[in-house]
């Protein structure tokens, strides 16, 4: 990065920097002065006296009595102009001992490099870029293959007073330069990024998807079976509990029934059946078979409770 630069008689200085103005031709000096733009005085010096610095430059200049040089400090853009050293000899003649044209410049701003269009084929890539600053811009088109790039019309540059834009290709990058006489900066883009082809995702493998669906179904089936078994066990327990509860109620009612009721009505009835059959002794072989005796006769005997 530059700080000072002399071109065509003009000294360019970076804003905020200092500049030393030397005097090489000063003889028979009676009085000496530095002027700005021919009229405005910076300082004056008379032999045997101290230098007189004018108010606009108080604290901003350093004067060397021995060689009449002056250092301008913390220069701003408003300080741009012509500085002249004037010598008055003892005869009263006035001559110019030194003259400088000063141009104070700010730092070059970072340029903007944009890609406006990209056209791709299987073997090449073409794109247009715009390199721009606050004051101007340049468009340029590039065509690149797998190994080299070419710039349509060659390297492009544009200059406005004391400021320059340039766009070119270097190695694997496109470079946009913005510079002035005291500073420069740039912005770059890699050709690989500009011509990058979108990644195509590989075809998905169906096996993990099928396995995933299978395991989901299996989990749902297991959950359904567990829910069914739990539900069945719960229903069975409810049936058993209800049966025991009904039996307990029946016994309780039997025990608390009024004793004045008919004894026969309170006692459970049971029937005793007796089978009366034919005599079991063997019959004579010649004895005719009595079918009536073979009939079974049932007699029901009512079981009564014993008397008091």
What is the per-residue pLDDT for 37? 95
Domain boundaries, the chain: 4-105, 112-194
Least confident of 3-12, 69-78, 129-138, 182-191: 3-12
- Please tell me the pTM assigned to this model: 0.57
β-strand partners of 179: 164, 184
- The closest of 271, 280, 279 to 298, measured between CA atoms, is 271
What is the per-residue pLDDT for 34? 95
Question: H or E stretch including 253?
Answer: helix 206-255
Least confident of 13-17, 260-264, 279-283, 293-297: 293-297
Q: Which fold does the domain 4-105 belong to in CATH?
A: Immunoglobulin-like (2.60.40)
Tokens coding 1: 């990065």
Q: Per-residue pLDDT tens for 259-273? A: 444 444 444 444 444
β-strand partners of 146: none
3-state secondary structure 199-245: CCCCCCCHHHHHHHHHHHHHHHHHHHHHHHHHHHHHHHHHHHHHHHH
**Winning range, highest mean pLDDT, from 148-157, 160-169, 291-300:** 160-169
Q: Which residue has the higher pLDDT, 237 or 202?
A: 237
What is the per-residue pLDDT for 196? 74
Contact 182, 14 (CB under 8 A): yes
Q: Per-residue pLDDT tens for 66-116? A: 899 999 999 999 999 999 999 999 888 999 999 999 999 999 999 999 998
Contact 303, 270 (CB under 8 A): yes
Residue 120 pLDDT class (50, 70, 90 cuts): confident
What is the per-residue pLDDT for 269? 42
Kindly give, in sequence order, each residue whose CB lies less than 8 Å from that of residue 262, ignoring residues fewer than 6 positions away: none
* 59-68 burial code (b ≥16 CB/10 A, e <16): ebbebeeeeb
């Amino acid at each position: 990065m530059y700080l000072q630069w002399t071109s065509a008689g003009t000294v360019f200085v970076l804003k905020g920097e200092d500049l030393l103005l030397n005097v090489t031709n000063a003889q028979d000096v009676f009085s000496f002065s530095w002027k700005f733009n021919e009229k405005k005085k910076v300082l004056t010096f008379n032999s045997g006296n101290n230098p007189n610095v004018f108010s606009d430059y108080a604290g901003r200049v350093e004067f060397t009595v021995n060689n009449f040089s002056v250092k301008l400090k913390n220069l701003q853009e408003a300080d741009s102009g012509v500085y002249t050293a004037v010598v008055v000899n003892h005869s009263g003649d006035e001559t110019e001992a030194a003259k400088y044209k000063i141009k104070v410049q700010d730092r070059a701003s970072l340029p903007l490099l944009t890609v406006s269009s990209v056209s791709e084929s299987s073997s090449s890539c073409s794109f247009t870029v715009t390199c721009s600053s606050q004051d101007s811009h340049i468009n340029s088109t590039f065509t690149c293959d797998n190994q080299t790039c070419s710039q349509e019309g060659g390297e492009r540059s544009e200059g406005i007073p004391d400021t320059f834009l340039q766009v070119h290709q270097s190695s694997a990058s496109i470079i946009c330069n913005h510079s002035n006489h005291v500073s420069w900066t740039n912005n770059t883009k890699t050709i690989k990024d500009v011509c990058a082809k979108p990644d195509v995702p590989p075809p998905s493998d169906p096996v993990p998807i099928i396995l995933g669906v299978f395991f989901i179904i299996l989990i749902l089936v297991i959950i359904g079976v567990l829910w069914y078994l739990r539900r069945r066990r719960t229903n069975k327990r409810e049936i058993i509990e209800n049966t025991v509860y009904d039996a307990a109620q029946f016994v309780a009612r039997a025990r608390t029934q009024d004793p004045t009721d008919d004894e026969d009505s309170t006692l459970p009835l049971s029937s005793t059946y007796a089978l009366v059959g034919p005599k079991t002794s063997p019959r004579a072989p010649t004895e005719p078979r009595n079918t009536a005796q073979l009939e079974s006769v049932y007699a029901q005997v009512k079981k009564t409770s014993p008397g008091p």
